Structure 1
Amino acid sequence: MVARTEAGSSTKEVVGVVSFYMVAAILMVTVNKWAMLSSSVPVFLLFCQLAVAAVLLMASHLAGLCSFPRWDWKTVRKLCPMIALNVLGLVFNNLCLHYVDASFYQVARGLVLPFAIAVAVVTNQGAPSPKAAVCCVWITIGFGIGVLLDQHSTVVRKGPSFIGIAFGILSSVTTAIHSITIKDSLPHVNHSALHLAWYANVLSSLAMIPTIVLAGEVPGVYALFLDDSQLRRFLWGCLVTGVVGFLICVAGVLSIKVTSPVTHMVSAAARGAIQTLLSVWLFRDIISRSRAASIIVITTGSIAYTWVKHREGNRPPSTRPRQPKEDETRLLEKEAEEV
Structure 2
Amino acid sequence: MYWFVSISLVFINKWLLSNSDTLVDAPLFITWFQCLVTVCLCIGLSKLSNFFPNKFSFPGLDYSWRTAIRIMPLSCVFFAMIVFNNLCLKYLDVSFYFVARSLTTVFNVILTYLILRKKTGCKAILCCAVIIAGYLTSVFQENGLGTLSLLGLVYGLSASLAVSLFSILTSKGLAYVDGSVWRLTFYNNINSFLLFIVGIVLTDELTELNYLPATFSVASILSLFIPSCLCVMLFSSYVGLFFWSMMLISGIFGFAISYVTTWQIQVTSPLTHNISGTAKAAVQTILAALISLHFKSVLWWLGNSMVVAGSIAYAYVRHKISTREQALQLPQSRSASDMEPFLEKSVASDPERSK
TM over 0.5: yes
**What residue ranges of structure 2 are gaps of 5+ in the alignment?**
50-55, 218-235, 331-336
| 1:248 aligns to 2:257 (yes or no) | yes
Tell me the TM-score normalized by structure 2: 0.81
Task: State the alpha-carbon separation in 2 of the partners of residues 192 and 125 from structure 1.
Answer: 26
Moved more, 251-260 or 87-96: 251-260
Secondary structure of 1:296's counterpart equals helix
Amino acid at match of 2:32: F
* Matched ranges for 1:132-151 at <5 A: 132-151=124-143
Q: Given the alignment, which residue of 175, 180, 183 partners 1:187? A: 175
The 1:259/1:203 distance shift into structure 2, 3 A limit, reads farther
Q: Give the structure 2 partner of residue 221 of structure 1.
A: 209
Task: State the alpha-carbon separation in 2 of the partners of residues 200 and 285 from structure 1.
Answer: 38
Q: Give the structure 2 partner of residue 161 of structure 1.
A: 149
Moved more, 110-119 or 195-204: 195-204
| 1:60 aligns to 2:45 (yes or no) | yes
Q: Given the alignment, which residue of 40, 62, 81 partners 1:70? A: 62
The 1:258/1:216 distance shift into structure 2, 3 A limit, reads farther
Q: Give the structure 1 partner of residue 199 of structure 2.
A: 211
| 1:25 aligns to 2:1 (yes or no) | no
Task: State the alpha-carbon separation in 1 of the partners of residues 261 and 270 from structure 2.
Answer: 12
Identity of aligned residues (%): 28
Following TM superposition, by how much is the alpha carbon of 1:222 offset from its aligned partner in structure 2, in angstroms?
A: 1.9
Q: Give the structure 1 partner of residue 232 of structure 2.
A: none
Q: Give the structure 1 partner of residue 75 of structure 2.
A: 83
The 1:258/1:186 distance shift into structure 2, 3 A limit, reads farther
Alignment coverage as a number of residue pairs: 314
The 1:311/1:101 distance shift into structure 2, 3 A limit, reads same
Task: State the alpha-carbon separation in 2 of the partners of residues 338 and 300 from structure 1.
Answer: 20
The answer (yes or no) to whether the contact 1:103–1:285 under 8 Å persists in 2 is no
Moved more, 75-84 or 37-46: 37-46
| 1:234 aligns to 2:247 (yes or no) | no
Q: Give the structure 1 partner of residue 164 of structure 2.
A: 176
Task: State the alpha-carbon separation in 1 of the partners of residues 151 and 138 from structure 2.
Answer: 15
| 1:271 aligns to 2:280 (yes or no) | yes
Secondary structure of 2:102's counterpart equals coil
**What residue ranges of structure 1 are gaps of 5+ in the alignment?**
1-19
Following TM superposition, by how much is the alpha carbon of 1:286 offset from its aligned partner in structure 2, in angstroms?
A: 3.9
Task: State the alpha-carbon separation in 1 of the partners of residues 182 and 13 from structure 2.
Answer: 23
Following TM superposition, by how much is the alpha carbon of 1:275 offset from its aligned partner in structure 2, in angstroms?
A: 1.1
Following TM superposition, by how much is the alpha carbon of 1:171 offset from its aligned partner in structure 2, in angstroms?
A: 0.7
Task: State the alpha-carbon separation in 2 of the partners of residues 316 and 177 from structure 1.
Answer: 23
Q: Give the structure 2 partner of residue 314 of structure 1.
A: 323
Tell me the TM-score normalized by structure 1: 0.84
| 1:97 aligns to 2:95 (yes or no) | no
Flag the structure with larger Rg.
2
Q: Give the structure 1 partner of residue 341 of structure 2.
A: 328
Task: State the alpha-carbon separation in 1 of the partners of residues 168 and 122 from structure 2.
Answer: 21
Q: Give the structure 2 partner of residue 129 of structure 1.
A: 121
Task: State the alpha-carbon separation in 1 of the partners of residues 89 and 214 from structure 2.
Answer: 26
Following TM superposition, by how much is the alpha carbon of 1:293 offset from its aligned partner in structure 2, in angstroms?
A: 1.9
